[in-house]
Homo-oligomer: A and B are copies of this chain.
Amino acid sequence: MPSPRPTSRDVAQAAGVSQAAVSMVLGEKWRGRVSAATAARVREAAATLGYRPNLAARQLRLGSARTLLLVVPALTTEYFADLYAGAARAAAEQDFGVILYLSPTVTAPARDPFASAQSTVDGVLASSMSAEALSTIRGDRLPLVMLDSSPDAGAPTVNVDLADGARQAVEHLLGHGHRRFVHLSADVPSWTFEVRAGAVAARLASVPDASLRVVPTALTVPGGAAATAAALDEAGPRPTALVCDDDRIAAGAYKELRRRGLQVPQDVSVVALDDFAVATAVDPELTAVRFDAELFGERGVRALLALIAGADPDDRDVPVQLVVRGSTGAVSPG
Contacts and interface: CB of A to CB of B under 8 A. Distances in A.
Interface of A: 2-3, 5, 52, 54-57, 59-60, 65-67, 74-78, 80-82, 84-85, 88, 92, 96-97, 99-100, 102, 111, 114-120, 140-141, 221, 247-248, 251, 254-255, 258, 276-278, 280-283
Contact of A100 (B74, B84, B96): B84
Contact of A282 (B65, B84, B88, B281): B281
Nearest to A222: B280
Contact of A281 (B56, B59, B141, B278): B278
B118 A96 contact: yes
Q: Which 3 A-B residue pairs are closest in the complex by CB-CB distance?
A: A97-B118, A75-B81, A251-B281
A303 to B, nearest CB: 20
Contact of A116 (B54, B88, B102, B120): B88
Nearest to A75: B81
A184 to B, nearest CB: 15
A60 B54 contact: yes
A287 to B, nearest CB: 16
Which residue of A99, A118, A254 has the most chain B CB atoms within 10 A of its CB atom?
A118
Nearest to A111: B92
30 contacts: A2-B140, A2-B141, A54-B120, A55-B118, A55-B120, A56-B59, A56-B120, A67-B118, A75-B75, A75-B78, A75-B82, A75-B84, A75-B85, A76-B78, A76-B81, A77-B81, A80-B81, A88-B100, A92-B111, A97-B117, A97-B119, A221-B281, A247-B281, A248-B277, A248-B281, A251-B283, A277-B278, A278-B281, A281-B281, A281-B282
Contacts of A254: 283
Contacts of A54: 60, 120
A91 to B, nearest CB: 9
A60 B66 contact: no
A3 to B, nearest CB: 8
Contacts of A276: 277
B283 A66 contact: no
Residue picked from A56, A65, A78, most chain B C-beta under 10 Å: A56
Q: Which of A57, A99, A115 has the most CB of B within 10 A?
A: A99
Given A56-B56, A88-B100, 20 more contacts: A2-B141, A52-B114, A54-B60, A54-B120, A55-B56, A55-B119, A56-B59, A60-B60, A75-B75, A75-B78, A77-B78, A84-B100, A97-B99, A97-B118, A97-B119, A247-B281, A254-B283, A277-B278, A281-B282, A282-B283
